[in-house]
């Protein structure tokens, strides 16, 4: 039953997020292209406000020991900047600049009928496949590793 509930929660928030992206025209190539050419600044404000809301919201949830849908608790972690972060940022940013989209807006593009989004989706899956074959960690973002006690719990 938790799987159905989790999927419904994910569907709800995913649809809301997609609606917000569509309302802000963040799924349109021209919007991203104009932002990267520093001609449209509202996208930076959009992203900055989203980051601010996420930081404040997660901090509040962490301090109140909020229980997640999966039964865990939110614990924010701090990490140092490493070479793999820089490399990943360059690859992600290059793909974003070329395609004019990233993983979330590309789904909004597809839903709006932009069939070229299928090329970007194929590229996303290719990148995930290639990253998975380079000895990536089976946990999270590749930076955080499973401890021996975590492995026993699985």
Span 69-89, pLDDT tens digits: 777 788 887 778 888 888 888
Q: Which residue has the tokens 């109140």?
A: 64
Q: Is residue 104 part of a domain?
A: yes
> How many domains, in total, are found in the chain?
1
Q: Which domain holds residue 65?
A: 2-148
The pLDDT assigned to 145 comes to 53
Half-sphere exposure of 75 (CA within 13 A, CB side): 5
Nearest to 6, CA basis, from 85, 61, 71: 71
Rounded CA-CA distance 29/35 in Å is 10
In a domain, 153, yes or no: no
Predicted structure pTM score: 0.64
Cβ contacts of 150 within 8 Å, gap of 6 or more:
139
Confidence of residue 133 (pLDDT cuts 50, 70, 90): low
The mean of the pLDDT values for the chain is 81
Reply yes or no on whether the pLDDT at 90 is more than 80.
yes
Confidence of residue 135 (pLDDT cuts 50, 70, 90): low
Give kind and range of the element (H or E) at residue 153.
Answer: helix 148-153
């Amino acid at each position: 039953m938790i799987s159905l509930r989790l999927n419904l929660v994910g569907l709800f928030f995913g649809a809301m997020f997609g609606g917000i992206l569509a309302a802000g025209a963040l799924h349109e190539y021209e919007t991203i292209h104009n932002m990267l050419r520093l001609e449209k600044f509202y996208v930076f404000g959009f992203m900055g406000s989203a980051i601010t809301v996420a930081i404040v919201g997660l901090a509040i949830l962490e301090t109140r020991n909020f229980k997640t849908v999966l039964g865990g608790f939110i614990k924010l972690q701090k990490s140092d900047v490493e070479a793999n972060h820089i490399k990943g940022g360059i690859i992600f940013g290059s793909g974003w600049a070329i395609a004019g989209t990233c993983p979330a807006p590309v789904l909004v593009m597809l839903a709006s009928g932009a069939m070229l989004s299928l090329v970007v989706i194929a590229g996303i899956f290719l990148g995930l496949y290639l990253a998975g074959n380079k000895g990536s960690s089976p946990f999270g973002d590749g930076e955080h590793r499973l401890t021996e006690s975590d492995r026993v719990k699985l």
